[in-house]
Structure 1
Amino acid sequence: MNYKKIFGELPRNWTVGTLDQYAEVIDPHPSHRAPSEVSDGYPFLGIGDLDYYGNATFDKARHVGLEIIEEHEHNYKITETSIGYAKMGNTIGKVVSFPSRQGKTRFAVSPALSVINPNDQINPYYLRAVVESNAFWGQVNGKITGSTRPSIGIQQLRKILIPLPPEAIQERIGEIWKAIYDKISVNTNINDNLQQQAAALFANFYDHAETEVGFTEIIQILGGGTPKTGESSYWNGNVPFFTPKDVGLPYTLSTEKTITEEGLAHCNSRLYPVNTVFVTARGTVGKVGLPGVPMAMNQSCYALVGKETHQLLVYFYTLKAVDRLKHKASGAVFDAITTRDFESEIIMKLSDEDAQGFLDVAEPIYQAVLSNSIENLRLAALRDSLLPKLMSGEIDVFDIQL
């Protein structure tokens, strides 16, 4: 493959090699079968255990036995500089950061992931920046096979081309990438902590509530719709179009698809404001999130709006209701939520005094969460626009001030 078609004209003292020259690319799951789950074991990190920014978390991971853990630790050799790369399914190309093993829980990883362990010929943070780049993805995308379950073979992944600048430039690009990544991680951890505080406070008030009400007595259920897909004037506009793929933690700020004002006028969705509660009803069922900017929504979701009930209370009441619906479906396939499901739900309504006490704390918390989420989106955009120019030599890395 002609590297100039991928990277353009590189500086003279840069070289180009394949990924397997600079890293061990490991695929310890030739069968692509996930191990059996156990009730009391160790976390098994899958694609569903990644946050919005690709960090793997233990919160809702399945659990596996010690023999699986030992096998994975032997095969994967995960360290703090290891890079996870999703190699199959709808998340192919997702780049994963693993939790540190230093004093932390032992864990195994999904067969949907390959692990890339940099060697001493390349700066590990520079390699991470390359693996996240559009140039890397463009090569992967050209090697994907399969339509119903797309994937890239491990041998194909190993032969992806990597531009290699002198060591000092690698180190500087790695420093810039890590500075941005660390700031995103700090904001993400702050948001996680803030949300845990709000959830604990709500649970305390909820457990002491004495008034039972029907869910739909205080919360209105609204729907969405999709403009005609064949009408080009309806699509690729400035209106975010929320689908189950777009659920954030908790805020969604950008969506995979967008529609135009004309498209919005020709579908069954309103333009829902910030803090409307979105619930995925089909496909990926039972995810609950909040739009961080006004957006439309497709028919696979519900929009929940309070009837004189604050939207943050609607959010937490909805989490309670959806959790109950999931428990009711235990042992059965939880493949859809209907309006009747919500109509049959009973929740405990906080007293006016407790509701105000909760909101006095929760409102500034979620304003901070939204602000941090917006900053993370800006940082990610800066990373995605700046790093390609640094890696091509278009911008001098030593002109960048962190």
Structure 2
Amino acid sequence: MSKAIGKRLGDIVNFKRGYDLPSRSRKDGMIPIISSGGISGYHSDYKAYGEGIVTGRYGTLGEVYYINGEYWPHNTTLYATNFYGNSPKYIYYLMKCLGNLQTSDKSTVPGINRNDLHEIIIPYLPPKIQRQIIPILSFLDNKIELNNRINAELEQMAKTLYDYWFVQFDFPNQDGKPYKSSGGKMVYDEVLKREIPKGWKVGTIHNVGDLLGGGTPRKDNPYFWNGSVPFFTPKDHENSFFVTETEEHITEMGLKNCSSKLYPKGTIFITARGTVGNINIASTNMAMNQSCYAVLPKPDINYCFLHQHCINLIQFMKGKAAGSVFDALVSNDFKQTSLVVPAKSLIDLFGETSVCFYEQMLNNRKQNQQLASLRDWLLPMLMNGQVSVGEINDNMEEISEERASNARQEQFQMHLFD
């Protein structure tokens, strides 16, 4: 493999500032508008087309978007206008790993000036080698995307099943037929102002879970922070069922000196301040700050049912707050919001049916973490020329079979540097 040489980034790709497009000027269309945070809307016209790279003009380098087709680069971004014969996809990967490469200090400026960006010295490989690297990195990205698509389907299946059984009341009756649609007995409930299945009760989330709070250790005590205990806060919310990583960690001493318990896997976290009502499931033991509530399943309640019940609860609260600001949650909100309490046998059946969806989603999330970790390790190594394409290809089958497990990654790294 050719040895990388240092080059100005501006010698391999040219960036230009994007175009302003106020909301009032946008027209319905299918053209994506790429802003600093990704796609921010759609328009009827475009300013660029083909393979493109877009990066935000503010913040550290690394938030980079690849697009192939017509698009409108917003004026909060810089977009590539000329690749000088280099592979756009390769430049995309190069831009994503600039923070891990040995570049000039200007790669971390809070406001990204195109002239400063062009002056960054990067390790450069010729187009022939670029084309060999792309399939390796795309292989890992494609696996991550596949897992994301599978998880989206599994999430929808779990939501649909809950809605069908506990909102529409078409859970399987004794004959395996939909209860309400098959003429199952319904009774009017004065609290909910609607009919519910005969034998069901009305209660609150407290019937199926324990509502608990959190707390934060003192920030000025270094012995409380940077430990091994994940510490969930509203900013750790993920757009998936499970939260698998937190930005901050505390120590065992920090845990003992704050109001949070160590919440086990399956605990439901609900954000109570900031962006209110975001929900995640703890994928492992975690502590939590005071801007959230933890809903711990009762000993005989499956966490899958409790999770969907919490989603239904928050949707109801938001609907009830329509016209007013839904900017905080307090414990009384949970006590005063009535919900159906289904028959225990049906709660158990839902848990038995849906737990495989949830566990598969969690496995896919963990696999994606491992794949992303391997990809992010490979990026600078390939870009710097410290690892050859041939060495990667020789081990690609092993990477695929092991789904980039941490153990395999360590063995792989050791093999490359034998």
Deviation per residue, 1:165-218 (Å, 9 max, x gap): 022221222222111110100001001011111111111011244233222333
Could you say what secondary structure the match of 1:304 adopts? Answer: strand
After TM superposition, give the deviation of residue 152 of structure 1 in Å.
3.1
- Say whether 1:259 aligns with 2:243: no
> Which TM-score applies when normalising by structure 1?
0.78
User: Which residue of 1 is the match for residue 403 of structure 2?
Assistant: none
CA distance in 2 between counterparts of 1:391 and 1:128 reads: 12
User: Where in structure 2 are the equivalents of 1:341-356 lying within 5 Å?
Assistant: 341-356=333-348
CA distance in 2 between counterparts of 1:322 and 1:314 reads: 12
User: Which residue of 1 is the match for residue 221 of structure 2?
Assistant: 231
2:293 corresponds to which of 285, 290, 302? 302
User: Where in structure 2 are the equivalents of 1:159-198 lying within 5 Å?
Assistant: 159-198=119-158
Q: CA RMSD in A?
A: 3.3
After TM superposition, give the deviation of residue 119 of structure 1 in Å.
2.5
User: Which residue of 1 is the match for residue 108 of structure 2?
Assistant: 142
Distance 1:41 1:317, change over 3 A: farther
CA distance in 2 between counterparts of 1:135 and 1:362 reads: 40
After TM superposition, give the deviation of residue 39 of structure 1 in Å.
12
Distance 1:399 1:44, change over 3 A: closer
1:85 corresponds to which of 55, 58, 64? 55
Could you say what secondary structure the match of 1:400 adopts? Answer: helix
CA distance in 1 between counterparts of 2:29 and 2:162 reads: 30
Identity %: 29
Could you say what secondary structure the match of 1:82 adopts? Answer: strand
2:87 corresponds to which of 123, 128, 133? 123
How many residues are matched?
Answer: 360
One-letter amino acid of the structure 2 residue matched with residue 239 of structure 1: V
After TM superposition, give the deviation of residue 361 of structure 1 in Å.
2.3
- Asked if the contact 2:36/2:77 (under 8 Å) is kept, the reply is no
User: Which residue of 1 is the match for residue 63 of structure 2?
Assistant: 94
- Say whether 1:292 aligns with 2:283: yes
Of stretches 248-257 and 176-185 in structure 1, the one that deviates more from structure 2 is: 248-257
Unaligned runs of 5+ residues in structure 2 are 170-195, 397-418
One-letter amino acid of the structure 1 residue matched with residue 92 of structure 2: R
CA distance in 2 between counterparts of 1:400 and 1:107 reads: 34
User: Which residue of 2 is the match for residue 53 of structure 1?
Assistant: none
One-letter amino acid of the structure 2 residue matched with residue 332 of structure 1: S
- Asked if the contact 2:53/2:64 (under 8 Å) is kept, the reply is yes
CA distance in 2 between counterparts of 1:200 and 1:163 reads: 50
Could you say what secondary structure the match of 2:210 adopts? Answer: strand
CA distance in 1 between counterparts of 2:324 and 2:73 reads: 26
Which protein shows a greater Rg? 2
After TM superposition, give the deviation of residue 37 of structure 1 in Å.
11
User: Where in structure 2 are the equivalents of 1:57-68 lying within 5 Å?
Assistant: none
Could you say what secondary structure the match of 1:131 adopts? Answer: helix
Of stretches 37-46 and 126-135 in structure 1, the one that deviates more from structure 2 is: 37-46
After TM superposition, give the deviation of residue 315 of structure 1 in Å.
0.7
Distance 1:164 1:48, change over 3 A: closer
User: Where in structure 2 are the equivalents of 1:1-400 lying within 5 Å?
Assistant: 14-19=5-10, 21-29=12-20, 35=23, 69-71=43-45, 73-74=46-47, 77=48, 79=50, 81-88=51-58, 93-96=62-65, 112-116=76-80, 119=83, 121-133=85-97, 134-135=99-100, 139=105, 142-144=108-110, 151-209=111-169, 210=196, 211=200, 212-248=202-238, 249-307=240-298, 308-400=300-392
- Asked if the contact 2:318/2:326 (under 8 Å) is kept, the reply is yes
- Asked if the contact 1:118/1:124 (under 8 Å) is kept, the reply is no
One-letter amino acid of the structure 2 residue matched with residue 143 of structure 1: V
Distance 1:122 1:332, change over 3 A: farther
After TM superposition, give the deviation of residue 282 of structure 1 in Å.
1.0
- Asked if the contact 1:244/1:301 (under 8 Å) is kept, the reply is yes
Of stretches 135-144 and 386-395 in structure 1, the one that deviates more from structure 2 is: 135-144
CA distance in 2 between counterparts of 1:329 and 1:39 reads: 31
After TM superposition, give the deviation of residue 331 of structure 1 in Å.
3.6
Distance 1:138 1:264, change over 3 A: farther
